[in-house]
Structure 1
Amino acid sequence: MNAMEETLVIPHQAQNTEKTLLQKKTSVRARHMRETALGLLFLAPSLAVFSIFCFYPLIRSVYLSMQVTNPRGKVVDFAGFDNFKAMFESEAFYQNLLVTGKFALYTVPTTIILALLLAALTAGARPGMKLFQSVFSMPVAISVGTGAVIWNLLFHPTAGIFNYFLKLAGFEAVPWLSDPAWALFSVSVMTVWMNLGFTYIVLLSGIQAIPSDMQESAKIDGAGMFIVFFRITLPLLSPTLFFTLVVSVIQSLQAFGQFHIMTKGGPIHTTDVFVYGVFREAFVNYRFGMASAEALVLFAIILILTLVQFVVLERKVHYR
């Protein structure tokens, strides 16, 4: 092959190489587009459901929060930020926030600590543990409405079993749901029981997922039961605890059903949590603009608290 032929072949080979690379890039791009289209096709039903039940109500709430509605709930005038201004100037707004904060403090730590204790005691493979696990998990299968009706009967001032045992012990009957000093505590007790099943199942699963060889090694080295629990089990369980904390805080701020059935915000607004205030504004007073503004503020509060938990607490989580 002479020099002239070499100069002709080399550019031809370079062109073929560039053409091959271009074809490969086009093929990869087409494959990615097909995979993306297929993924969107599978996600379409979920996106449709989210659009109907999440995205549209959110957009509608933003729209209604800037409107004034008549007693029939129809939009009659544009209000701008007047609903938000009136809400922040209202004493009931801060009272509802205070009641919701108390309710969260009563229920969230109590539920997590009690579920953690029960999960630690029943996580082993000892005889009879399956029975206890089933019993402690049962509340997860009971709806809020059913649980509230059951506890309404337990808290009944004359026919309730709690006052029956108090009278047997020589104490006076307690008006659990009609006394301002006891109403929020009573609903909190019911909520702790109701949320215990889910929290217990999650923490039990987290404990059982911890490798047993680490705990056995610590016991062989002479570590006691409490040292193993606090030095090994709890650090390895921290991702699960973090998850349950975030979920429990959100649930406590969104609590509604038990208050609506058991106390309806009373007595004297001592159980008037934030969500019940939103419900009352919307479906009792028919002030959908004010209710939408309060709902958006609640959304912002939950979002901020969740972000704070991730920023402050997640750094202490030990991911394996």
Structure 2
Amino acid sequence: MINAKNSEQNLQNSIPMRRIGRLGEGLEVALLLVPGLLLLLVFTVWPTLNAFWLSFHRENLLGTERDWVGLANYAEMLRDPAFWRAVGATFLFAAIVVPVQLLLGLLAALMVARPFPGVALFRTLFFLTTAVPTAVAAVAWGWYLHPIGGTVNRWLEAVGLPAQPWLTSPELALPTLAIVTAWAGVGFTAILLTAGLQQIPEDLYEAARIDGAGAWRQFWHITLPMLSPTLFLVALLTVLTSLTAFGQIHLLTRGGPMESTTVWIYRIYQDAFFNFRFSYAAAQSVALFLVLLLLAALQFRGLGRRVHYE
């Protein structure tokens, strides 16, 4: 009896100690999260909230005075033909980038997902685009696509075709930039899709081959359904990044020629840092942010239902 009472008393005494231990662990986790949360607050949350607040004001050049104007900046934005041209260029740009990047990334992933002699070399070549900085890639593409003496035009002339003004023609500049952007994203897309392909059990393919299914049927009925979660993630990221592409546009065309490559985010940059209309640029930024949220929600609602989860 005495031993039972002592055991019960020891158990009751240990409960507060466990709670204190858990509380200490929670405080330790909280302290470890504080630096990251502070950085998130300072560099993401606060600028976003400030942009929302600024979009309802007009301020002087130095930013020392602000006047409340309500929705005036948004009304001006909706009446601005330059804004709508930028919106149209943005969605045309994304309409080229997204399918090209997804298709090339999927083909690259299918090529290197399974081991074969020399697969490491092919993986390195495909994934190299991810390691190349945007500035370096833009300079290289500027040399390749130069209208006089560029590598691509020399190849065309070698086979008897005329040289093309890839980056200086209003008709060709935007599609050319879209292809360059898709090329830059192929490596990242292939990395994610390769990881998804390697998670598909080999037993499914063996069973399909025993049942007489060919390569196309295996791809359509096994690979795509099992890869759909990764494809959905990649498609979402590709859409959002294509709508906010900036570096290659700024370095290769600066929105030209004749504003043919002035996409939405580049219009914001010009209005803010060249025209010094920070409030108007903030209104455009808020509108872009809301459009991105809407597109993400539509993708989750439309494509998310077709995703096959095990």
Q: TM-score, normalised by structure 2?
A: 0.91
Equivalent residue for 1:187?
Answer: 177
Equivalent residue for 2:253?
Answer: 263
1:144-164 deviations in Å (ceiling 9; x for gaps)? 111111111111011210111
Q: Gaps (5+ residues) in structure 2?
A: 1-9
Find the aligned partners of 2:251 and 2:238 in 1 and give their Cα distance: 21
- 2:111 pairs with 1:117: no
Structure 2 contact 105–190 (Cα < 8 Å) conserved:
yes
1:276-296 deviations in Å (ceiling 9; x for gaps)? 011001100111101111111
Find the aligned partners of 1:181 and 1:242 in 2 and give their Cα distance: 31
Structure 2 contact 112–122 (Cα < 8 Å) conserved:
yes
1:111-167 deviations in Å (ceiling 9; x for gaps)? 011111121122211111111111000000011111111111111011210111111
- 2:181 pairs with 1:198: no
Find the aligned partners of 1:308 and 1:25 in 2 and give their Cα distance: 49
Deviates more, 1:21-30 or 1:45-54: 21-30
Equivalent residue for 1:228?
Answer: 218
Give 3-state SS (helix, strand or coil) of 2:303's partner. Answer: helix
Q: Mark the structure with the bigger radius of gyration.
A: 1
- One-letter code of the match for 1:223? A
1:179-233 deviations in Å (ceiling 9; x for gaps)? 1110001101110110011001111111111111111121122111111111101
**CA-CA distance at 1:76 after TM superposition:** 4.1
| Residue number among 303, 307, 310 corresponding to 2:297 in the alignment | 307
Find the aligned partners of 2:57 and 2:170 in 1 and give their Cα distance: 35
Equivalent residue for 1:108?
Answer: 98
Find the aligned partners of 2:140 and 2:98 in 1 and give their Cα distance: 21
- One-letter code of the match for 2:156? L
- One-letter code of the match for 2:280? M
Q: Gaps (5+ residues) in structure 1?
A: 1-19
**CA-CA distance at 1:24 after TM superposition:** 9.4
The within-5 A match list for 1:123-272 is: 123-272=113-262
Structure 2 contact 100–179 (Cα < 8 Å) conserved:
no
Equivalent residue for 2:269?
Answer: 279
The alignment of Structure 1 onto Structure 2 pairs a total of residues equal to 302
**Cα–Cα, structure 1 residues 30 and 264, in superposed 2: closer, same or farther, change >3 Å?**
same
What is the identity percentage for the equivalent residue pairs of Structure 1 and Structure 2? 38
1:37-69 deviations in Å (ceiling 9; x for gaps)? 333222111101101110111121122212213
Give 3-state SS (helix, strand or coil) of 1:176's partner. Answer: coil
1:263-306 deviations in Å (ceiling 9; x for gaps)? 11111111111100110011001111011111111110101110
Give 3-state SS (helix, strand or coil) of 1:93's partner. Answer: helix
**Cα–Cα, structure 1 residues 77 and 204, in superposed 2: closer, same or farther, change >3 Å?**
same
Please identify runs of 4+ aligned residues in structure 1 that moved more than 3 A.
Answer: 20-36, 71-76
Find the aligned partners of 1:235 and 1:75 in 2 and give their Cα distance: 56
Structure 1 contact 69–286 (Cα < 8 Å) conserved:
no
**Cα–Cα, structure 1 residues 109 and 23, in superposed 2: closer, same or farther, change >3 Å?**
farther
Q: TM-score, normalised by structure 1?
A: 0.89
Structure 1 contact 73–286 (Cα < 8 Å) conserved:
no
**CA-CA distance at 1:21 after TM superposition:** 12
Find the aligned partners of 1:301 and 1:26 in 2 and give their Cα distance: 51
